[in-house]
Amino acid sequence: MTSLLFFLLLQDVESLLQSGEQKGSKGDLEGAVSDFSKAIESDPRSVRAYLGRGKARRARKEFTDAAADFAKAIELDPKSTRAFWGRGLVRHDIGDWEGAIADFTRLVELAPKDGDAYYSRGRSRRAKGDLKGAVEDHTRAIELNPKDALAHLARGLAKYDLKDLEGAGSDYTKAIELDPKSALAYGNRGVCRHDRKDYDGAIADFTQAIELKPDYRGAYFNRGHSRTEKGDYEGAVADFTRAIEFSPTDAGGYLSRARARRMEKEYDLAVRDYDEALRRDSKSFDAFFGRGLAKYDLKDTAGALADFTEAVAIKPDHATSHFHRGLARQDLKEMQGAIEDYTKALQLQPRYPSAQFNRGLARYGLKDYAGAESDFGRVLESNPADADAYYNRALARHASGNRQGAVADLEKALGVATKDWTYRAKAEQALASLKR
């Protein structure tokens, strides 16, 4: 009688296990968890039940409970590869890279010929920042299964992070050969090609990725950047618009479209996009700085100054922001403030000829002729063929009474300048006047 009851119990457990597995495969995760839980009540030592419930709970994002189920399975069967695999995946999901790596390492020990074990550990190693370790694991996975497109794709990601663009591109190409319908492989290879300035190749890859996956926002977004670099601003705007449609709450799409519109000299539309970006991210440096540039182009110098000031507040060590705020202040005749900004820009970036030159102009405006002469001299140290710097130093020298130095600079300016140089006529006239 006892044997018969035990046999019936086993039949009942098996029925529950099969039912739970079928429900899980059909997406009925709640029903699967329920069946596996009943199986565990009937047989608390059923490893299969804990594995099934852990898998269903992970799919439901109940990570703590899922990890507990896989841990129980390991306790019952310390050599269960499925249990270490499941817990490793859960730990990866929650960002416990060390724990995931430990589980996948145990999996490798238990199944050294299983390429998926190396693949999984490689993913966690990359997430942890161990890029070389990730490449080694994915390489081993490829050795065990040369036709694994995902392993090639994953190794490409790790190589890309290592700045090995050629190696990453080769892996993505292999992944495409193995899986011609992988939109992700095309998208990633497109990024590599973009970074290598192969914009035509990048655009072709992103286009193929979109054909394979029409809702691939990243491909639209990245193709927009490649088109921007190619000077196809209209195409770029169209791509960024599509990306915005897929993710209207993301500031990035508006920032990128604003840049393309500014490059296309659609400054009003660019300002509107920067406004939208700031509605989504009120502390966006790129939005304040970009809007400042667009407003400056629109001759809204006061508005540009306000935006550059916000940008400086967010990134005080950004030399270019100080430089552009200096330009705005200079246009508004705030010469001392302009000088302070140019000086800060030069402190942050000592080799900054534009900041040096404009500080010279601002100093000249304040009749600091010695300071202006010094600035133009520094510009000439880095570019001895700068006709504008010679011309403006000549003005500073003349204003300070150095007639001979002014003559020498004007002669030098005319000697290095092109025929269509803006100040040629003025320089010739000034030189003739000084030589009388």
pLDDT by residue (tens digit) across 82-91?
Answer: 999 999 999 9
User: pLDDT digit string (tens) for 269-325?
Assistant: 999 999 999 999 999 999 999 999 999 999 999 999 999 999 999 999 999 999 999
- Any idea where the domains of the chain sit in the sequence? 367-436
The pLDDT confidence band at residue 6, using thresholds 50, 70 and 90, is very low
What would the pLDDT profile of 193-252 be if each residue is shown by its tens digit?
A: 999 999 999 999 999 999 999 999 999 999 999 999 999 999 999 999 999 999 999 999
pLDDT of residue 70 exceeding 50, the answer is yes
If pLDDT is split at 50, 70 and 90, which confidence band does 5 have?
very low
Query: What DSSP string runs through 209-270?
Result: HHHH-TT-HHHHHHHHHHHHHHT-HHHHHHHHHHHHHH-TT-HHHHHHHHHHHHHTT-HHHH
Q: How far is it, in rounded angstroms, from Cα 261 to Cα 267?
A: 7
The closest of 19, 30, 85, 35 to 43, measured between CA atoms, is 35
Looking up tokens 């989504």 gives 280
Residue 289, burial from CB neighbour count under 10 angstroms (0-12, 13-18, 19+): buried
Q: Find the Cα–Cα–Cα–Cα dihedral 208, 209, 214, 220, rounded to 10°.
A: -100
Local confidence band at 110 (pLDDT 50, 70, 90 cut-offs): very high
Q: What is the DSSP secondary structure assignment for residue 350, as one 8-state letter?
A: S
Does domain 367-436 match CATH 3.90.380.10?
Answer: no
Cα–Cα distance measured from residue 291 to residue 237, given in angstroms and rounded to the nearest whole number: 17
The answer to which of 14-18, 122-126, 371-375 has the lowest mean pLDDT is 14-18
pLDDT band at 26 (very low <50, low <70, confident <90, very high): very high
* Distance of alpha carbon 45 from alpha carbon 50, whole angstroms: 9
Note the pLDDT of residue 25: 93
Please give the average per-residue pLDDT across 109-127, as a whole number.
97
